[in-house]
């Protein structure tokens, strides 16, 4: 019996940690049902369902959506909807591309010996450890230099000019997500016994069939974990997106930041609540994948 | 079949560069000819190059020098999936994400076999290894012995000319191992295909093999039948590695056509009428090798050829046999006596310190080159 298990110190510190971590989230969610239009004070839930939005001073008295007034409000907000669409589009494309590249890199690092191998391995950690803002500025500088050069060299004008937008955000997300995917897949490959692949080839499978039928299914849980991690990183990335976005490529974090500088209404809370739900779902999926993987081995 | 030999290694060398940057020859000028339908074992202690030799036959490694021939064809850089040999891996390497059926069917799918045919052949393979009814299990849901059978079935379902087995029973407990030894041997005889079997267990090799290659340090020490290897080891290494031997340093006193007299300085005795192998010359320093069970204990004053006195230093009773440790003028000699009679009567034991006579039967004594 572990003597620490029941010690009051452990119980109290555990409770404190949970309060510290989750209290802000609880408050945030609670305020998204706030009847006050000002986000500072909580004046109770918006009570009943009715046909019209009734405002009494600064308080919402009733709304057709009932307590979900701010969520309805949000869904009618075209800017939010477009930012959400951008965020998801970027996250999906960047996740797929970075998962493919990251997985291939992990396999190559595991399987082959080549010059600069340890350098390549080390360089994976650089984007992870350097401050994101440095990477953001770096990417911005690079892209604007390249775009500027292309625009002047080919004398592009008007719509043909290369400029910041969805494309630049997506490629910079791919750039910072690849190392995360590679490291996660590498961890999975660490214990991978190459005799599985040899057995497949021994039984008549060529390299490609061996990869498709044996290697890939066996590392799939690692690849999925990597992809989910990359997806969540992309969803809530602010710094790099801040430097690389342009007109029409505003993502949710950028939009919220913009809102905060103007007025704070419980719309922001409603948006955050939806967002938290999405991220929690992804994290939950990640957990399920990992625990299934563990119960297998 | 185009060739007399199923597999042939001609002067094969395999060098590896170790992580420290040293070059080692894991396989060092190995030549072997494995006949069709033969149960051939490579026997040697860990690190002697058995697995590497097998992997070069399978196609997982390429030779540094020399050539591997399968059915008379030089293999060169032929990839594993184009060689008509199959492997049973030491770790089994069963595909964990597939069922038993899918594992065994995998090789047939690669051949492009039809669904009906696959079902039939997998069924027969499972029958052969007595696993009918286990089709739907995953490898993790099987015992070690069952996994081993699946690995054998998966390789055999491809009807290879040659089956390669790398210590396939290494992970099983002793009792199961003995059972599987007999089963594998029976399977090999029934199917009539060539087995190349890697093991470090000499008893296993002696039990199962038609011929054995004894290896050490990447080299072949001797190739022969179990009887040849045990009774006529070609050098001191083999005599020492297979079973037990007493070694006495000596010098050839005189040579006739097929017999030698050897003087043993330490015992101040001359051994007469010892059969010799080729290439010995008079006056040469040699090693005389004799197995413990081929020495007879007699009266201390018996009159015999090849006789000398010794003192018992210890006896160990182990059921079927008694090991008698003796010493003669500083030379330790171990004798093994079968317990033909009950030892319940303690007077039949030798007592420590007792003086006895030892007789070496010349026909069971070997003269080996000193290496
Ligand atoms: N891929 C490799 N790289 C470097 N050394 C190796 C490699 N494979 C085997 N060796 C070395 O070759 C020698 C023979 O190995 P192996 O054939 O596995 O021996 P065995 O199967 O008889 O135990 C060992 O010293 C081993 O360390
Ligand atoms: Mg080995």
pLDDT in tens, chain A (297 residues): 566 667 888 889 999 999 999 998 898 888 888 887 776 677 777 776 665 666 666 777 777 787 888 888 888 888 888 998 999 999 999 999 999 999 999 999 988 888 888 898 999 988 889 999 999 999 999 999 999 999 999 888 887 788 888 999 999 999 999 999 999 999 988 878 889 999 999 999 999 999 999 999 999 989 998 998 999 899 889 999 999 988 888 998 898 888 777 777 788 888 889 888 988 888 888 788 778 766 655
B159 torsion bin: left (phi>0), alpha (psi -120 to 50), beta (else): left
Please tell me the predicted confidence (pLDDT) of residue B81: 94
Length in residues, chain A: 297
> Which pLDDT score is estimated for A87?
93
Q: What is the distance between the alpha carbons of residues B63 and B78, in angstroms, rounded to a whole number?
A: 11
- Residue pair A42/A29 in contact (Cβ under 8 Å)? The answer is no
| pLDDT over 80 at B284, yes or no | yes
The answer to whether residue B58 neighbours chain A at the CB level (below 8 Å) is yes
Residue with tokens 């971590």: A21
pLDDT at B206 over 70: yes
The mean pLDDT value for B248-257 works out to 88
Within A191-248, strands assigned E span none
> Which among B59, B79, B93 has the least Cβ separation from residue A199?
B93
Give the tokens for residue A165.
């937008």
| pLDDT the model gives residue B344 | 74
pLDDT at position B254 over 60: yes
DSSP symbol at A77:
-
Q: What does the alpha-carbon distance between residue A158 and residue B210 come to, in Å, rounded to a whole number?
A: 84
Q: Is B318 exposed, middle or buried (0-12, 13-18, 19+ CB in 10 A)?
A: exposed
Ligand 1 atom nearest the C-alpha of B14 is 12
What pLDDT does residue B339 have?
83
CA distance A296 to A286: 16
Task: Give, in order, the Cα–Cα distances in Å from A183 to each of A104, A123, A295, B177.
Answer: 11, 11, 22, 41
Of A193, A195, A203, the CB nearest to B154: A203
DSSP classification of residue B62: -
CATH superfamily of B5-236: P-loop containing nucleotide triphosphate hydrolases (3.40.50.300)
Tokens 């000699």 label which residue? B333
Q: Name the phi and psi angles at B243, rounded to 5.
A: 65, -155
**Domain ranges, ordered by start, for chain B:** 5-236, 237-368
Mean pLDDT of B32-41: 96
d(CA B105, CA B121): 8
- Asked whether B14 lines ligand 1 (CB < 6 A), one says no
Select the residue of B87, B95, B96 nearest A202 (Cβ to Cβ): B87
The CATH architecture to which A78-262 belongs is Orthogonal Bundle (1.10)
Does the pLDDT of residue B40 top 80, yes or no? yes
* Segment B48-59, tens digit of pLDDT: 999 999 999 999
Burial of residue B343 (CB within 10 Å: 0-12, 13-18, 19+) is: middle
DSSP state at residue B351: P
CATH code for residues B237-368: 2.40.50.100
Q: What is the 3-state secondary structure (H, E, C) of B67-96?
A: EEEECCEECCCCCHHHCCEEEECCCCCCCC
Q: What is the mean pLDDT of residues B137-159?
A: 94
| Cβ burial, residue A281 (10 Å; 0-12/13-18/19+) | exposed
Q: Is the pLDDT of residue B350 over 70?
A: yes
A102 to chain B nearest CA, in Å? 23
pTM of the model: 0.80
Instruction: Name the residue in chain B with its Cα closest to that of A209.
Output: B110
**pLDDT tens-digit map of A188-243:** 888 788 899 999 999 999 999 999 999 999 999 899 989 989 998 998 899 999 99
Q: What is the mean pLDDT of residues B67-71?
A: 95
ipTM above 0.90, yes or no: no
How far, in Å, is the centroid of ligand 1 from the Cα of B50? 8
Which chain B residue's Cα is nearest to A204?
B81
Confidence of residue B272 (pLDDT cuts 50, 70, 90): confident
Mutate to test the interface with A, among B80, B108, B157 (most CBs of A within 10 A): B80
Percentage of chain B beyond pLDDT 90 is: 67
Q: Taking all residues of chain B, what is their mean pLDDT, rounded to a whole number?
A: 91
Predicted local confidence at residue A50, as pLDDT: 62
Residue B58 to chain A, least CA–CA distance (Å): 7
The alpha carbon of A4 is separated from its chain's Cα centroid by a whole number of angstroms, namely 36
Does ligand 1 lie within 6 Å of residue B51's CB atom? yes
CA separation for the pair B249, B370 (Å, rounded) = 8
d(CA A73, CA A95): 30
Give the nearest ligand 1 atom to B46 CA.
23
Over residues B37-64, the mean pLDDT reads: 96
Of residues A181 and B254, more confidence is placed in A181
**Secondary structure letter of residue B48 according to DSSP:** S
Domain boundaries, chain A: 8-72, 78-262
For residue B311, the model assigns a pLDDT of: 93
DSSP class of residue A5? T
pLDDT at B1 over 90: no
Q: How far is B160 from chain A (nearest CA, A)?
A: 10
Give the whole-angstrom CA distance, residue B100 versus residue B142.
Answer: 9
B46 pocket-lining for ligand 1 (C-beta < 6 Å): yes
DSSP secondary structure of A78-132: HHHHHHHHHHHHHHHHHHHHHHHHHHHHHHHHHH---TTHHHHHHHHHHHHHS-H
- Tell me which residue of B232, B223, B203 sits closest to B42, measured CA to CA: B223
- Alpha-carbon distance B249 to B233, whole Å? 17
Q: Report which ligand 1 atom has the smallest distance to the Cα of B18.
A: 4
């Amino acid at each position: 019996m572990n003597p620490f298990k029941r010690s009051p110190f452990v119980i109290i510190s555990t409770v404190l940690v949970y309060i510290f971590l989750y209290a802000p989230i609880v408050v945030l969610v609670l305020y998204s049902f706030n009847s006050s239009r000002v986000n500072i004070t909580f004046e109770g839930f918006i009570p009943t369902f009715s046909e019209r939005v009734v405002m009494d001073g600064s308080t919402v008295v009733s709304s057709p959506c009932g307590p979900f007034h701010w969520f309805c409000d949000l869904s009618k907000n075209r800017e939010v909807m477009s930012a959400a669409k951008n965020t998801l589009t970027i996250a999906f494309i960047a996740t797929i591309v970075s998962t493919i590249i990251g997985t291939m890199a992990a396999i190559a690092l595991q399987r082959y010996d080549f010059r600069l191998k340890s350098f390549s391995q080390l360089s994976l950690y650089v984007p992870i450890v350097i401050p994101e803002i440095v990477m953001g500025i770096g990417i911005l500088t690079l892209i604007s230099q390249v775009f500027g050069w292309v625009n002047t060299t080919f004398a592009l004008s008007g719509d043909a000019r290369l400029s910041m937008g969805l494309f630049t955000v997506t490629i910079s997300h791919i750039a910072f997500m690849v190392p995360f995917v590679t490291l996660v897949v590498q961890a999975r490959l660490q214990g991978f016994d190459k005799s599985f692949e040899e057995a497949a080839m021994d039984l008549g499978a060529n390299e490609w069939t061996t990869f498709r039928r044996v290697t890939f299914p066996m590392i799939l849980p690692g690849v999925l974990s990597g992809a989910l991690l990359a997806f969540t990183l992309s969803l809530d990335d602010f710094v790099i997106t801040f430097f690389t976005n342009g007109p029409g490529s505003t993502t949710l974090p950028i939009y919220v930041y913009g809102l905060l500088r103007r007025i704070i209404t419980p719309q922001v809370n409603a948006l955050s609540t939806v967002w938290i739900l999405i991220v929690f779902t992804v994290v939950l999926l990640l957990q399920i994948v990992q625990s299934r993987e563990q119960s297998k081995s | 079949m185009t060739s007399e030999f199923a597999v042939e290694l001609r002067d094969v060398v395999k060098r590896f560069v170790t992580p420290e940057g040293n070059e080692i020859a894991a396989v060092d000028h190995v030549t072997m000819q494995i006949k069709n339908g033969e149960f051939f074992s490579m026997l040697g202690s860990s690190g002697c190059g058995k697995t590497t030799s097998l992997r070069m036959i399978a196609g997982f490694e390429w030779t540094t020098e020399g050539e591997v021939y399968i059915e008379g064809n030089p293999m060169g850089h032929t990839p594993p999936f184009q060689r008509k040999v199959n492997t049973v891996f030491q770790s089994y390497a069963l595909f964990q994400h597939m069922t038993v059926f899918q594992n065994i069917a995998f090789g047939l799918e690669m051949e492009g076999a039809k669904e009906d045919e696959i079902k039939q052949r997998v069924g027969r393979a499972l029958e052969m290894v007595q696993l009918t009814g286990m089709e739907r299990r995953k490898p993790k849901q099987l015992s070690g012995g069952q996994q081993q059978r699946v690995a054998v079935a998966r390789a055999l379902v491809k009807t290879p000319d040659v089956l390669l087995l790398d210590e396939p029973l290494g992970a099983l407990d002793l009792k199961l191992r003995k059972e599987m030894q007999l089963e594998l041997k029976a399977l090999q005889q029934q199917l009539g295909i060539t087995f190349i079997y890697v093991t470090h267990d000499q008893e296993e090799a002696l039990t199962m093999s038609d011929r054995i290659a004894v290896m050490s340090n990447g080299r072949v020490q001797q190739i022969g039948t179990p009887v040849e290897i045990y009774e006529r080891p070609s050098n001191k290494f083999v005599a020492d590695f297979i079973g037990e031997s007493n070694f006495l340093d000596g010098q050839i006193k005189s040579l006739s056509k097929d017999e030698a007299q050897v003087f043993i300085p330490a015992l101040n005795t001359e051994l007469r009428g010892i059969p010799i192998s080729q290439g010995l010359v008079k006056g040469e320093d040699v090693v005389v090798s004799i197995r413990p069970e081929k020495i007879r204990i007699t009266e201390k004053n018996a009159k015999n050829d090849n006789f000398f006195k010794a003192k018992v230093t210890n006896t160990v009773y182990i059921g079927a046999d008694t090991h008698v440790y003796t010493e003669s003028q500083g030379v330790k000699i171990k004798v093994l006596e079968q317990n033909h009679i009950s030892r319940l009567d303690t007077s039949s034991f030798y007592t420590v310190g007792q003086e006895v006579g030892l007789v070496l039967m010349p026909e069971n004594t070997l003269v080996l080159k000193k290496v």
